[in-house]
Amino acid sequence: MRIDIITVLPELMQSPFNASILKRAKEKGLVEVHFHNLRDYTTGNYKQVDDYQFGGGAGMVLMIEPIDKCISQLQAEREYDEVIYMTPDGLTLNQGIANELSLKQNVIILCGHYKGVDQRVRDMFVTREISIGDYVLSGGELAAAVLCDAVIRLLPGVLNDETSALTDTFQDNLLAPPVYTRPSNYKGQEVPEILLSGDFPKIEKWREDQALERTSKKRPDLLK
């Protein structure tokens, strides 16, 4: 998979891609992530990427021309499956969307900033608009990093057995069951005996029951 991220703040988002699972995915050649600084696609001497909005009002809007230049240049180099715009008024990200995107070859992610982008960018280029929840961030960069993490860890070969995505919370619309490690007794707090029994069919059944119970207590909406 190849991901091209267009942003005015590449430095805000690069570090998550250089640690842990995302780093390993890159090193294994399972994903390529390229950052494009919008300022590199400006024409004038001032490297202007934003301007006041027509009709008045507070806040700057990202201009269409540098975004068009950047996206058009990328699209001339290869076919893209999606141009995703990160915006709080997009569709809320969930595991289903992450699963779907993990099957794509080439994806562009455009990060909004300030008051967002000129509407014509959304009309002309964007195939999908994604939010990461009902709260406002200063820009789409951290949201794009969240999206990339959720997607990249699903690529075949990124996770090993121990970190398998199959047992994740949300994989079957269920929260994951509780987990424990040594010591089996900590200051009187015991690990459930069943987990120490070695009876694996019983343990599996216990985990399923716990997942269901946890979900109905904490997230009954997921069971509907």
Does 132 count as an annotated binding residue? yes
CB of 104 to ligand 6GU, least distance (A): 18
10 near ligand 6GU, rule: CB under 6 A = no
133 near ligand 6GU, rule: CB under 6 A = yes
Count of residues in the chain: 224
- For 36-81, the DSSP string reads EEGGGG--STT---EEEPTT--SSEEE-HHHHHHHHHHHHHHS--S
Strands 2-7 and 50-52: unpaired
Nearest-angstrom CA–CA distance, 99 and 87? 20
150 near ligand 6GU, rule: CB under 6 A = no
54 near ligand 6GU, rule: CB under 6 A = no
Strands 128-131 and 82-92: parallel
Q: Which stretch binds ligand 6GU (CB under 6 A): 37-45, 126-134, 157-165, 200-208?
A: 126-134
Does 134 count as an annotated binding residue? yes
Cis peptide bond upstream of 183, omega within 30: yes
Is 10 or 139 the residue whose CB approaches ligand 6GU more closely?
A: 139
Alpha helices in the chain, H assignment, sequence order: 10-13, 20-27, 64-77, 95-101, 119-124, 141-152, 200-218
Does 188 count as an annotated binding residue? no
Is 137 or 155 the residue whose CB approaches ligand 6GU more closely?
A: 137
Strand 106-111: give its sheet, edge to edge: 32-37, 2-7, 106-111, 82-92, 128-131
88 near ligand 6GU, rule: CB under 6 A = yes
Does 136 count as an annotated binding residue? yes
Binding mask 165-204 for ligand 6GU (x = CB under 6 A): ----------------------------------------
Taking CB under 6 A as the criterion, the residue among 19, 135, 161, 201 binding ligand 6GU is: 135
CB of 146 to ligand 6GU, least distance (A): 8
Give buried/exposed letters for 120-137 (b at 16+ CB in 10 A, else e): ebbeebbebbbbbeeeeb
Q: Which stretch binds ligand 6GU (CB under 6 A): 7-15, 117-125, 139-147, 181-189?
A: 139-147
Residues that bind ligand 6GU (CB under 6 A): 86-88, 112, 131-133, 135-137, 139-140, 143
Annotated binding-site residues for S-adenosyl-L-methionine read 112, 132-137
